[in-house]
Chains A and B, each alone.
Chain A
């Protein structure tokens, strides 16, 4: 078994908590492409950009950032993390990612998700009450387009397609399509039934949080006639690789805590994560991939052994981590962590065979 390691960014535009300066959108776009270039040079397998339609992110059009990243890189695969498919036109999504695939010589990938942020729904004229139906229908169309051209298809949320020519085809005809699951049991069941690879967001809490989610995914896949052993599972988590355990925690904590304010509300207000809560997440039995290279290696292998995952995508810059620290952690991840994890996972597979 191979093990893929990548980084993902939401391309945040966040005020620096030390200097107080707000970077320009131009700067953050250039930063994002630089992250891709350094991740490629460091030998990482994947670079992902998230989709957010707000002024505190520049990643509202990840396909365009990935197209630019394609020109700045040579080997690394380029993925959305995620494409908020519910508020997209699958025809357009296919056209964009097939084009990235042609630009990059077959390195494009789509991770389709329902989106945890909901700003895109009113922007594109969709009703949040259709949240589940939108995703189901649009994923169905995207898969049909991938399967064959021309395509004939009919649904509720867009005009029907009759022998429609959706062009171009991807470089090697196909593009990998993963489904992002946030831990919702029903989402895991749906992904399993469709026999699609699952990108599991595992943000905080015990490393084993999604044990049942993965079981449900594999059971649903088996029940639908898919071979669960052949279906890849990946995790998306936050993390930071430092020079030492202490350096990693000291560097990551203030930015991560600040970033979490947006995502952790109590009584209608954002709450800063305490250092004690952060330290609890950094423990070996918890999910956060923070620490020295060796700590992160150990935790990735623990993830692999617990869930059978073959991929980890790490969000390394959440909360406005400065670019310098961000590039350094990507370099450590690519040069110190990834080679060891790939080698050890291969050795585990060989000893099991």
Chain B
């Protein structure tokens, strides 16, 4: 049985929001995400939005709590809500000093404690070498475990050598993206599939 899932966002398109933890533009982190989004778009209609945490400005960096944002920075509040309302969140960051950058953590410090509960989150990271790869498992996944988010089992790492400039060339990373996204699509189809009445009758 093949059905087009009807996502809560309406129109059948999956609302994908990328949270970009890289300060650079262009960046290898977004080079990696570009491939993820292109691949996902080939599997599933998507609407995408992207948050560059380093581009949010002083109202964001100076905020100590969500209340500051609500009171003084409506634009940032909308960005936070967009992330909280995504059907699929892609959390992507470069490795800085052994972990995700502080600005990336600051963004999630302002996210509501339960807003990401049970939300599918795909983890992606870039680093100078392969030895950084476990940042996905030892730093990023625990952050989303706090939120009780549903992190996708296959997370995606690419080191500097996989890129020509910011274009991802390494076919092994391309293959891993395919694997991760097939899992995502399976998961979302199950979650949003129309109910099968015959099984409910039993």
Contacts and interface: CB of A to CB of B under 8 A. Distances in A.
A314 B167 CA distance: 33
Interface residues of B, number: 11
Interface in B156-193: 160-165, 167, 169-172
Contact of B170 (A132, A133, A186): A186
A183 B171 contact: no
Contacts of A190: 164, 169
B165 A185 contact: no
B171 A133 contact: no
Specify the main secondary structure of chain B where it touches its partner. mixed
Contacts of B162: 185-186
A216 B161 contact: no
A189 B172 CA distance: 11
Contacts, number: 37
A216 B171 contact: yes
Nearest to B161: A184
A190 B161 CA distance: 12
Contacts of A189: 164, 169-171
A216 B164 CA distance: 14
B171 A186 contact: no
Interface residues of A, number: 15
A174 interface: no
Contacts of A219: 171
A149 B170 CA distance: 34
A243 interface: no
A265 interface: no
Interface in A130-157: 131-133, 136
A163 to B, nearest CB: 30
A18 to B, nearest CB: 37
Interface in B126-180: 160-165, 167, 169-172
Centre residue among A136, A183, A185 by max chain B CB count within 10 A: A185
A187 B167 CA distance: 12
A212 B162 CA distance: 12
Interface in A208-237: 212, 216, 219-220
Contacts of A186: 161-164, 167, 169-170
Contact of B165 (A132, A183, A212): A132
Contacts of B160: 184
Nearest to A219: B171
A352 to B, nearest CB: 28
A132 B161 contact: no
Contacts of B172: 185, 212, 216
Nearest to A184: B161
Centre residue among B163, B171, B172 by max chain A CB count within 10 A: B171
A184 B163 CA distance: 9
Interface in A155-193: 183-187, 189-190
A186 B161 CA distance: 6
A209 to B, nearest CB: 12
Nearest to A212: B172
A189 B165 CA distance: 13
A184 B161 CA distance: 5
A183 B130 CA distance: 13
A42 B172 CA distance: 44
A221 to B, nearest CB: 13
A216 B169 CA distance: 10
A134 to B, nearest CB: 10
A187 B172 CA distance: 14
Contacts of B169: 185-186, 189-190
A234 B58 CA distance: 53
Nearest to B165: A132
A136 to B, nearest CB: 7
20 contacts: A132-B163, A132-B164, A132-B165, A136-B165, A184-B160, A185-B161, A185-B162, A185-B169, A185-B172, A186-B162, A186-B164, A186-B169, A187-B164, A189-B164, A189-B169, A189-B170, A189-B171, A190-B164, A190-B169, A216-B170
Interface of B: 160-165, 167, 169-172
Given A186-B164, A186-B170, A216-B172, 19 more contacts: A131-B165, A132-B163, A132-B164, A132-B167, A133-B165, A136-B164, A183-B161, A184-B161, A185-B161, A186-B163, A186-B167, A187-B161, A187-B164, A189-B164, A189-B169, A190-B164, A190-B169, A212-B172, A216-B170
For the complex of A and B, list the 5 residue pairs with the smallest distance between their C-beta atoms, beginning with the closest.
A132-B165, A184-B161, A186-B169, A189-B169, A185-B170
